[in-house]
């Protein structure tokens, strides 16, 4: 919080508060800091009365501390997907947050991610074959999203809540292993923590080193990308095919990743012959004899 006061003291913040221990501790710290902030809480209506009780707790806190609160309650118009509920919920809440920030002129979004979240995310990305950027963790400050609790383990946050008498609610659905993150949290992380009393501290140090290495390597990749491309537009440009595939394999992979490809797709692009066409999440690329034509997909 001292870092926030020193670097962002004159700014306005939006706090994402669910009612759990981490976000209620975050709200408590802000309420006692003198920083100007508002609160956002979203009720997904996925856990019946428990969801409503979470909302009531956050609302009561805001009423007590005279903090403006923005509530969103999911209704029938918010069609739940057949696919990933977690991805749908994430997209819904960040859209909600952005709308509030624009309307209320709140420059920074603040979330309560902590060190255990870092470990879970690292393991998820590792299981999915992520690149070095994905393995360098959740950033502390990323596109005006601040995460001041990121270096603190969950047990310290719970201990602080107990010492300060901070009321919070437990999301019992986190105990179910239906989702990958819950399975990692409940089954894998406890085993890792048993191996070494300093596991989380050592992990945090390694992650910081990984991020430093990632930042350096990304600068190398960016420079190589600039040297390869022809055309000033981000919508359509070409890459020198011969020069690209003469680079170190790591740099080739990261440049292909920049074009929106991941996993097995990267290998297919690397092995492509003249005339091949590929479509990623963000780009369409076609291989010609001496160059690769790249077009950004509409709306991406």
Binding-site members for ATP are: 18-23
**Which residues are annotated as part of the binding site?**
18-23
Residue located via tokens 């239906």: 178
Whole-number Å distance between alpha carbons of 22 and 28: 10
């Amino acid at each position: 919080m001292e870092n926030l006061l020193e670097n962002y003291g004159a700014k306005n913040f939006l706090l994402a508060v669910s009612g759990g221990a981490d976000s209620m501790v975050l709200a408590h710290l802000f309420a006692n800091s003198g920083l100007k902030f508002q609160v956002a809480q979203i009720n997904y209506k996925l856990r019946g009365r428990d969801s409503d009780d979470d909302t009531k707790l956050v609302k009561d806190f805001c009423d007590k501390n005279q903090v403006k609160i923005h509530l969103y309650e999911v209704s029938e118009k918010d069609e739940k997907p057949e696919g990933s509920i977690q991805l749908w919920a994430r997209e819904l809440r960040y859209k909600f947050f952005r709308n509030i920030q624009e309307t209320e002129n709140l420059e920074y979004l603040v979330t309560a991610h902590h060190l255990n979240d870092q470990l879970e995310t690292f393991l998820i990305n590792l299981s999915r074959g992520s690149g070095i950027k994905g393995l360098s963790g959740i950033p502390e400050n990323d596109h005006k999203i601040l995460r001041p609790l990121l270096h603190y383990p969950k047990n310290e946050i719970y201990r602080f809540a107990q010492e300060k008498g901070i009321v919070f609610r437990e999301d019992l659905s986190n105990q179910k292993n239906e989702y990958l993150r819950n399975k990692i949290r409940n089954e894998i992380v406890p085993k890792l923590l048993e191996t070494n009393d300093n596991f989380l501290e050592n992990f945090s140090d390694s992650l910081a080193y990984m991020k430093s290495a990632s930042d350096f390597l990304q600068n190398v990749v960016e420079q190589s990308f600039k040297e390869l491309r022809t055309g000033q537009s981000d919508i359509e440009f070409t890459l020198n095919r011969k020069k690209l595939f003469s680079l170190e394999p790591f740099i080739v992979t990261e440049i292909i990743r920049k074009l929106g490809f991941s996993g097995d797709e990267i290998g297919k692009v690397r092995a492509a012959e003249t005339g091949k066409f590929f479509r990623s999440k963000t780009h369409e690329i076609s291989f010609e004899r001496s160059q690769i034509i790249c077009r950004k997909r509409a709306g991406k």
